[in-house]
Structure 1
Amino acid sequence: MRNLILLPLALFIAIFCSAASAQTPTSFSQAKRLLEKHIYPTQEYRETFYCGCSYSGEKQVDAASCGYTPRKNAKRGKRIEWEHVVPASRFGKTRACWTDGNSACVTKKGKAYKGRRCCSKVDPEFKRMEADLHNLVPAVGELNGDRSNYRMAVISGEERTYGACDFEIDSKNKLAEPMAATRGDIARIYFYMQSTYNMPLSDAEMEMFTGWMSKDPVSEDEQLRDARILEIQGNSNVLISVGF
């Protein structure tokens, strides 16, 4: 196996891929189709991000494969959904279409709307961020719903509410704690979104994510996923992980 390392942050955000792109997604719906067909095409690659559960080509979760038990929503827990690791509200809430709406964001009944729905319709930059494959992972539907747009954090004294799945939620403080094996992946995605779209991170987040990357270096699976994404998205995106 190759010796995989993580480049220093200042260097990895400066490296751009040069692959030709023929299928760069321009909408969230298109991104989901590309993920299913090209990024997680076979059973070998189909594993949920937060729990490590296997799932089928029909997006059905094998709960026994990871010891996951539903907290409340068993129906949603049976399927995978495409989760934005960096929530759409994080990169959308400061945009005019999100806060104020747009003249084009009106229903057939004449009711104006705003937020994500409006931005997905009228804002090309938002649509590019929403469809960015680096920020999308397969997650158990219940966890996707429970995580909502909560910030990533380490929660002390948390309860385990999803069986053997090591994922915790603090609804009161709007925090989510992922298992240690995914924390480096999450950190690199946040830094990627920061460098690609000028999305600000707080000093506390910078410190936490830097620590997470150090404790959870790039794996071969992560590198191969990035390589498959780069083949599709081409030179509009920063390389996340590099192996030597």
Structure 2
Amino acid sequence: MLLLRLALLCSALLPAALLAAPQDFGRAKVEARQHVYHDRNEIGDAYCGCTWQWAGRSGGRVDLAGCGYRIRAQPNRAQRIEWEHIVPASSFGRQRQCWQQGGRAHCTATDPVFSAMEADLHNLTPVVGEVNADRSNYDFGMLPGVPPRHGQCDVRVDFAGRTMQPPAAFRGQIARTYFYMADRYDLRLAPAQQRLLMAWHRQHPVSAWERERNQRIQVRMGHGNLFVTGEREWQLHHRNSREGLISSLPSATTPPVSAQPAPAHGNRNSRIYHLPDCPGYTAMADRNRVLFTSAAAAEAAGYRKALNCP
């Protein structure tokens, strides 16, 4: 705890630009494993309480038998840990203009606000992959008439109604994460959704782990979730602080699209980018491809040029 307090003090003294906040979703998962959830794999994931063994840079192999989990439909994803956006990427992405112009890949490549939201550690949690898939981008809600379909994992999913009921122990954290994301990035929440989240916030106070998690993330990102610390309270029709917004509008001197450099294709796994005249420009899988407007933009994001490029 002494080391954590010293780290928090240092983070308060450093400018935000000097802090090690992750710049993209791939890096955020690694940061979350190394600095936030490194000792939580034997405690269990947020949805099912399943423990796991870390594997690779940010993944894990789930002990399904140990938590009484029953595979519903996807054995491969059920056996691995994945990183869940508590507020789904599509939910905050659809409120950005970039999503209308090309979906998630276009937002990742062109919109720094979307990239910040996608990599925000406060919004990430490790979960059983099949449950991550079944939740999809559904809203959270109460489903008293829907039976559980994942063994002893206490989640319920209404696929037709596109709704998921999370376990009671996780509902307070979900609410405070939604408040944080909406407040920081100026997201819209429907009044009915606000009322449900406000009820969950009251019914499920901040736990010791949620408080510890918030402190760990604050060290990495330079700011905490004020709805966890109690410094900020959500009210119906809350007025958002918009503290996470930065301008994504082009300047008056931005050249027309036809004069822009050819786009670069980055591989989110290898952190290598290819240009149109590189052999691997179209070879990578869509799920690994990150689009950049130029080689300079790719390098600014921490990617390096492929060695087989001319």
TM-score, normalising length from structure 2?
0.66
Return the offset for 1:176. 0.6
Q: 5+ unaligned residues in a row in structure 1: which ranges?
A: 1-16, 101-113
Matched, 1:179 2:167: yes
Counterpart of 2:226 in 1: which secondary structure? coil
Return the offset for 1:19. 6.4
Number of matched residues? Answer: 213
The one-letter amino acid of 1:38's match is: H
User: Does the CA contact (< 8 Å) of 1:54 and 1:66 recur in 2?
Assistant: yes
Match runs of 1:48-197 below 5 Å: 48-58=45-55, 59-100=60-101, 114-197=102-185
Would the alpha carbon gap of residues 91 and 43 (structure 1) be closer, same or farther in structure 2, given more than 3 Å must change?
Answer: closer
In the TM superposition, what whole-angstrom CA distance separates every residue of 1:64-96 from its partner, at most 9, and x where no partner exists?
232111111111100010000000111111322
CA distance in 2, matches of 1:61, 1:120: 29
Would the alpha carbon gap of residues 73 and 44 (structure 1) be closer, same or farther in structure 2, given more than 3 Å must change?
Answer: closer
Matched, 1:30 2:18: no
Radius of gyration: which is bigger?
2
CA distance in 2, matches of 1:205, 1:141: 25
Q: Which has the higher contact order (CA 8 A, sep 6+)?
A: 1
CA distance in 2, matches of 1:30, 1:129: 13
Q: 5+ unaligned residues in a row in structure 2: which ranges?
A: 1-10, 231-310
Counterpart of 2:125 in 1: which secondary structure? strand
Counterpart of 1:226 in 2: which secondary structure? helix
Return the offset for 1:172. 0.5
Counterpart of 2:54 in 1: which secondary structure? coil
Counterpart of 1:176 in 2: which secondary structure? strand
CA distance in 1, matches of 2:149, 2:30: 31
TM-score, normalising length from structure 1?
0.83
CA distance in 2, matches of 1:96, 1:69: 40
In the TM superposition, what whole-angstrom CA distance separates every residue of 1:20-63 from its partner, at most 9, and x where no partner exists?
45211110001011011111113566521111111112201111
User: Does the CA contact (< 8 Å) of 2:41 and 2:53 recur in 1?
Assistant: no
CA distance in 2, matches of 1:19, 1:193: 24
CA distance in 1, matches of 2:40, 2:158: 32
CA distance in 1, matches of 2:169, 2:40: 20
CA distance in 2, matches of 1:19, 1:140: 37
CA distance in 2, matches of 1:162, 1:19: 46
User: Does the CA contact (< 8 Å) of 1:196 and 1:238 recur in 2?
Assistant: no
Q: Which residue of 1 aligns with 2:36?
A: 39
The one-letter amino acid of 1:239's match is: L
Query: What RMSD over aligned residues (CA atoms) do the two structures have, in Å?
Result: 1.7
User: Does the CA contact (< 8 Å) of 2:41 and 2:52 recur in 1?
Assistant: no
